[in-house]
Structure 1
């Protein structure tokens, strides 16, 4: 049986671990030079640092993932630095690109563990040099031991906002402000559900308390005004507090992010149907609790199937592998599957509380100023999308984001809407007076990321 696993983060590692234990040696593909995923990303060999410095409270879990990863590499067809840019379910093949060479990988079954990326709301100045997503700021710190600036402001909402601010301050950067668009009252209402998270909740409380004790400026319930600067970089960040007062902090870099969204382009190309999750405010691929999708031979695990975090990804990766094995006729331990299912159900309750505590601020996305750059790939401003939607609505129905794409080019650039898609859908929904779920989602196209054409073809 030919099995392919895409992704070597927590979900991919635990999936491959179960497959190898059952005697299957899969093709294991990851875009990064090494595994661990973004959450447990390893630095280059020449920049080795101890796990506690890199991962903090997650050092033990990260070390376990890395040790399992290294032990599995000789037992599988390990292919790092390899992009899966297309999947063809009718032919059961993956198209890959590695070091400039293309190849096809045949599979009978595939587990897609493609992870997540930051969700962004455009604010004036968000495309200036020195502005990154929260995830990119964290990657710079982990992989290169450097920050995105010396005086850094962080803006957004969600657990990653507080974690990255803590990591930067602990590494010695001057964190001038942590600006959370979620109000303290919203978080307080979600507190009973957050307590289900146990140590995860406790770690979140620690990060916020640690930042406050060091006198770092923290504001909650803020409304971003702008990231100021010029073509040379960032000079300041401006915002309104919950009472409507304007503030400004000088800085030379800013990290922004409003939660995460699944990297589900391959699931889309595999023709897995999607549904809108109102709790996460994300479009997520359809799968059952065991990781099985409606498309034969395609299984999903980790944040690429719906945001759950690293611990959930590990559990879901193991569960999806067991599902694949059971579907292939292997005997699996029913006690293990029940245990994994119970853990996933428990984590789902905590995750729902986390989403209520840090909701995606649709009001900010819908009120993006007309002159703000919305789709940076195509140079499209929010006002241009609104104007086009009004003009189109006057002559017929326009309540679909792919139709908006056809008459404005929103999401037609290099990122295919991965960055602008969420905000664009909210802008369109507000202009047309409908729910964002009715707007739909931008459909993916191969290649999922830019590739050179032509590229040499390697033998399978």
Structure 2
């Protein structure tokens, strides 16, 4: 006697480039997927849409990617009648065939069942603290971008952007074009790093040209750019009033009233962790990432990953990965799909890996950051944990694993659940324990992945576990 396969109940988490293309592919095959997104309007971080009353022209918001952004927005708008779209909804827990969600406007909890799940959770900023980073006026690069795109405002009148990575120059261009004063761009990568990476990035000439254009535009418009920089400290008492940075042996001081800080992006992996996905160390990303095959399949049946939540490859790749994951889901459940298209998508994604490695050479992670961090530096701002407390824990208690460090120091236990401090904590623990960063492990995901209000109401009729 043959069993009847379970009905397809696909759920897609995240309405960025990956999630929208996944939902589109599923709908094109006659399904009605549920698309859950924390934002009020789809598009993700890179193509974030402002509230209707405050919209700026796409060209002003997205630059050279305006046509791509508009096409993605139009796709989601056209899908409205063919999918179960749930914006303003945070997925705060995921396990055992259920997603726990919070609908923000109504403060209502709901438990959503799924048969098949595509997680397109996107990325978050990779942050390395410096003295003064907790002052009002210090933002992540991603936060600075949200302020500009979603709220239509600059983070300050005189802005310094520092760290490294392509996002550094993209945000600088966006701010300068919007009329904000970008006092300086401070890049910890050296100009020699940029040049050495060019051969590896020639495989994607359009992307290379786009990055070169951002730098060229900034230079042509008089925005000072400094490479080979080490940020030293943020100046200020009640809020930011300047930044000190070092180039070689010389210290420099710049007056400013706001700072955007970040060292590229890292995948947002907490939902994948809660779902039971297997993780492995990825040297290119300098992080433990959920394992998946070329189509997005994980070790958990019915769970697929797509976009920057699986690997940072950019917005174009996220669209391809979302479509590919949807085709894999369909094929795994006996739905006829275009395998030639699937192979094309995989080839496009493979070709981007070489370019991504080139980016890592162009904008290397400052692996010596931990050796310069003082014991007094606040590393976990949620719990006010300082670097010295982590080093003392490694020295006095012999701790050499991240979750043990969390249990003894409370690092990563606060509101951000380690989003802002986990990368830096791992670097400090590795340095203090004499282990490599991959050996100290990673903070395990915990529900709720983001704070939820105590007064939120459980929707009547929801399955147990919704509250």
TM-score tier after normalising by the smaller chain length: over 0.9
Asked if 1:87 is matched to 2:94, the reply is yes
Of residues 69, 72, 83, the one that matches 1:65 is 72
Alignment of 1:251-400 (within 5 A): 251-393=256-398, 398-400=399-401
TM-score, normalising length: structure 2 = 0.95
**1:146 paired to 2:147:** no
Question: Could you say which residue in structure 2 is the equivalent of 1:436?
Answer: 437
Distance in 2 separating the partners of 1:328 and 1:366? 51
SS at match of 2:80: helix
C-alpha distance in 2, partners of 1:116/1:323? Answer: 22
Equivalent residue in structure 2 for 1:201, among 208, 211, 215: 208
Name the counterpart of 2:139. 132
Cα deviation, 1:78-121, whole Å, max 9, x if unaligned, reads 100000000112xx010001031000111110000000010000
Alignment-derived partner of residue 238 in structure 1: 244
- Alignment-derived partner of residue 3 in structure 2: none
SS of the equivalent of 2:202 reads helix
- The runs of at least 4 aligned residues of structure 1 exceeding 3 Å deviation read none
3-state secondary structure, aligned to 2:457? coil
Say what the alpha-carbon RMSD is for the aligned residues: 1.0
Task: Determine the C-alpha separation between the residues in 2 that align with 1:58 and 1:176.
Answer: 25
- Structure 2: which 5+ residue stretches go unaligned? 1-7, 463-467
> SS state of the match for residue 453, structure 1?
coil
For residues 396-416 of structure 1, give each alpha carbon's deviation from its aligned partner in whole angstroms, at most 9, with x where no partner exists: xx2211011111111111111
Deviation track 1:367-415 (CA, whole Å, cap 9, x = no partner) reads 311111000011001011101110012xxxx221101111111111111
Q: Deviations over 1:264-301 (max 9, x none)?
A: 11000001011111111122111101000000110000
**8 A Cα contact 2:292 2:298, kept in partner:** yes
1 CA distance for matches of 2:349 and 2:242? Answer: 42
Secondary structure of the residue aligned to 1:8 is coil
> Displacement of 1:453 after TM fit?
2.0
Distance in 2 between the 1:256 and 1:75 partners?
A: 40
Give the whole-Å Cα distance in 2 for the aligned partners of 1:450 and 1:371.
28
Q: 1:126 Cα deviation (Å)?
A: 0.6
TM norm structure 1: 0.97
The structure 1 residue matched to 2:31, chosen from 19, 24, 28, is: 24
**Which consecutive residues of structure 1, in runs of 5 or more, have no partner in the other structure?**
none
Contact 1:366 1:426 in 2 (8 A): no
